[in-house]
Amino acid sequence: MRRILQGEGLLWLAVPIVVLAGLALGWAVSISFERGQEPEAGPPVDLQVVEGEVVAILEEGEVVLGDRVQTYQRVEVEILEGPDRGRRVEIERGRQQLLNDPRGLRVGDRLLVSFGAGPLGEPTPFLWDVLRTRPLALLLGLFVGVTLLVSGWKGARSLLGLAISLAVILSFILPQILAGRDPVWVSVVGSAILLSTTLYLVHGWSVKTHAAVLGTLVALVLTALLAHVFLDVTRLTGFGSEEAMFLTQLSGADIQIRGLLLGGIIIGTLGVLDDLSISQSAAIQELRRADPRLAWRALFGRGMNIGRDHIAATVNTLVLAYVGASLPLLLLFLLSDQPVVHLISREMVAEEIVRTLVGSLGLIAAVPLTTALAAWLVLRQPVSQAREAS
């Protein structure tokens, strides 16, 4: 204890204090949010959706719709929940509308059944969607099992961190945005909580984690500033997608759609930023362990040699992730005869370009920031402690 409070030991207290102060600020802001107006309920939607199971195929054949031949079915479905549990209803599929999935329904398939108003106003059952909880649960179990098998205890902590991240998003970020609060502030506070909680949970209380947290926070602030500037310069409104329009119509709250776009950029970038920062910080710690004689300049230079490879790989990954999510949109534009300059000026395309490039700039900034902080911190740690931490 005496060593910690003397000389360079004070540096070890500086970073945790900054992090704790940031968490305290985030907590204070969240408390002030809770004292504000409660989220307003959206307009009532006259739609009842319940689970059902196909118990019989009553009719099956082919029908011509336009220039396409597809299979239609009339099936008997047993309702599995709600006041109509046990009731059997008939549902027709494919006779009057084009089907995205050409595969027919089979006995035993689980469905989501909605009851809407029929031609005479009577409640009529419709196929709302296929129930996918079983295959999704199987995929989730496979993901958890492989993570634990390969990563062991650290993998378990990462899964716990993932659960905490989802809890913060679902219980804090989304409700506050629906309540009409500024999505930017909500995203920044939520990101700070996510970052501090998950990184320390997975990687422990160490110099490596301190450097990663601080480097990521600074890069996140730079990303937010860049996003704000370029959203303004490009005059993006946030209404580049149908989801934004539906949200304003159905939420019943005064949601700031433009701020929601900015908040989405912040949270989306955070997911890659923390991985990049912890990798850089760990690399600096290993370099220090391998050669304790290295000075700050040498540590920073060698760390940046590693960081350049991280930047190349991560930026490519980020761009491919956004392109992969936008493939239908890109194909749609390829079918258009408009010039490329006109296409990229469309808001729905410009949003993705700004999101990708601003996020990539944040990632690039995180590398030198984290490398410099990690090199500075590890040089103030005794070599023996650095080896133990590794």
pLDDT at 207: 85
- The strand pairing partners of 38, in sequence order, are none
Flag whether pLDDT at 29 surpasses 70: no
Both structure tokens of 272: 């890659």
Give the pLDDT confidence of 93-151 residue by residue, as tens digits: 888 887 777 788 899 999 999 887 766 666 788 888 899 998 999 999 999 999 999 98
Contacts by residues 31-38 (CB-CB < 8 Å, ≥ 24 positions apart): 33/176, 33/179, 33/181, 33/186, 36/179, 36/181, 37/179, 37/180, 38/179
Flag whether pLDDT at 224 surpasses 70: yes
**Better-predicted residue by pLDDT, 279 or 349:** 279
pLDDT at 119: 64
| pTM of the shown model | 0.70
Lowest mean pLDDT among 15-19, 101-105, 140-144, 292-296: 15-19
Q: How far apart are CA 256 and CA 43, in angstroms?
A: 18
Give the pLDDT confidence of 146-200 residue by residue, as tens digits: 999 998 888 888 888 888 888 888 888 888 887 777 787 788 888 888 887 888 8
The predicted model gives 234-246 an average pLDDT of 75
Give the pLDDT confidence of 49-72 residue by residue, as tens digits: 899 999 999 998 888 887 788 888
Sheet with 123-130, strands from edge to edge, namely: 88-93, 68-79, 48-65, 110-117, 123-130
